[in-house]
Amino acid sequence: MQYRIVGKTGVWISEIGFGCGNNAVLMVKASHADQVKAVRHALDLGINFFDTAFAYGSGKSEENLGGILKELGAEPVISTKIRLEADCLGDIKASTVRAVEAGLARLRRERVDFVQLHTRVTLARGMGKRFSLTPQDVLGPNGVIDGFKTMRDRRKVGHFGFSGLGDPKALHELVDSGEFHGFQAYYNLLNPSAGQRVPPSFGAQDYGLIIDRAAAKGMGAFVIRILAAGALTADPSAGGGSSPEPLSPGSEYALDLQRAEKVKAALGVSGKELTQAAIRFGLVNQRVSTVLVGFSNTTHIDEAVACSGAPGLTDGEMAKMKQGLTDGEMAKMKQLWETDFGMLSKN
């Protein structure tokens, strides 16, 4: 396992991170024995970064992860996330403090290394089905950042982050504030706009090279949806995410499945090779701190860790896994981003 530093924090984490979310269901619905087996296996292979949230099973992921780490006596780097809803608006700072305290209780920990805002951030508050905060709600007096700083002063959290979902202009405002140490970047072969330039015709949401912008502020990037909710896996029929609404606009699962077919044809890969090409795509960007992968079993862990050059691979295999996509493969991908993906979105 290879390791990278998170921005300017001084914290080193594994290139492959253990995503404890709903999609892979492992840390939410699997048996305790299977969860222990997977966490132990990940730790044995060098994974030292675990990402969880209250939203994953309404706290079950945090509870399960915290209990298992206690059982194993392990002390990896942990990130958890808080989701604020409309009832927080009377006192956002106090609501933030309470949410972090509740997460720590579920994890059975005195402190976490990273706490992140899981609520979307948009230029105007979203008061409908999917609530969102504004940059002012996050950065202003008595806002989310003030709550995070209170918990840091109490030595309950180390560093701050946010989920990079919502309005790109609002997300860029959070980055430019200099208040955050890392963020979760929506970044994959089907929507690379957080780290690769895309043309105006690109069909999905354009995140405007936010990974580069964050790096310039000394922030790390935790990549999410590297496998596009399963579209870039051997069994895409089992994917689609836990919500009927797309996590990112323009990335509806049915549309991503069509895009994935074009990727397979362009790169000449499928199944396990497609999955590993997708993970390697994330790792080749040196501004990425870790690629978060949701695991359903230990085989999935092995396949992901192989992309970071796990022990036992030959020098040639390790070099192949570490090189990311070749220049020729990248040229084919850019062709797709510029033409085919845009045409798909218009059909």
Which pLDDT tens digit goes with each residue over 113-150?
999 999 999 999 998 888 999 999 999 999 999 999 99
CA 313 to CA 51: how far, in whole Å?
Answer: 27
Alpha-carbon distances, residue 84 vs 81, 170, 235 (angstroms): 10, 17, 34
Angle at Cα 59 formed by Cα 56 and Cα 65, nearest 5°?
85
* CA-based R_g, the chain, Å: 19
Checking if the pLDDT of 314 tops 70, the result is no
8/339: higher pLDDT: 8
pTM to 2 decimal places: 0.90
CA 236 to CA 230: how far, in whole Å?
Answer: 5
Residue 17: its H or E element? strand 16-19
CA 161 to CA 153: how far, in whole Å?
Answer: 16
CA 19 to CA 41: how far, in whole Å?
Answer: 14
pLDDT tens readout for residues 161-218: 999 999 999 999 999 999 999 999 999 999 999 999 988 888 899 999 999 999 999 9
Picking from 312, 225, 282, 294, the residue whose alpha carbon sits closest to that of residue 17 is 294
For 3-346, CATH gives 3.20.20.100
DSSP per position, 239-279: -S-SSSS-SSTT--HHHHHHHHHHHHHHHT--HHHHHHHHH
Residue-level length of the chain: 347
Q: Is the dihedral of CA 64, 309, 320, 202 positive or negative?
A: positive
Alpha-carbon distances, residue 323 vs 92, 257, 270, 316 (angstroms): 44, 26, 19, 11
Q: Which residues of 128-157 are buried (b: 16+ CB within 10 A; e: fewer)?
A: eeebbbbbebbbeeebbbbbbebbbeeebb
Overall average pLDDT of the 155-160 stretch: 98
Checking if the pLDDT of 156 tops 80, the result is yes
Which of 4-8, 175-179, 216-220, 342-346 is predicted with the least confidence, judged by mean pLDDT?
342-346
On the CB side of 116, CA atoms within 13 Å amount to: 26
Residue 27: its H or E element? helix 26-29
CA 318 to CA 171: how far, in whole Å?
Answer: 36
Picking from 93, 103, 2, the residue whose alpha carbon sits closest to that of residue 322 is 2
Which of 245-249, 262-266, 322-326 is predicted with the least confidence, judged by mean pLDDT?
322-326
SS3 of the chain: helix, strand, coil, percent, to 5: 45, 15, 40
Picking from 188, 265, 275, the residue whose alpha carbon sits closest to that of residue 236 is 275
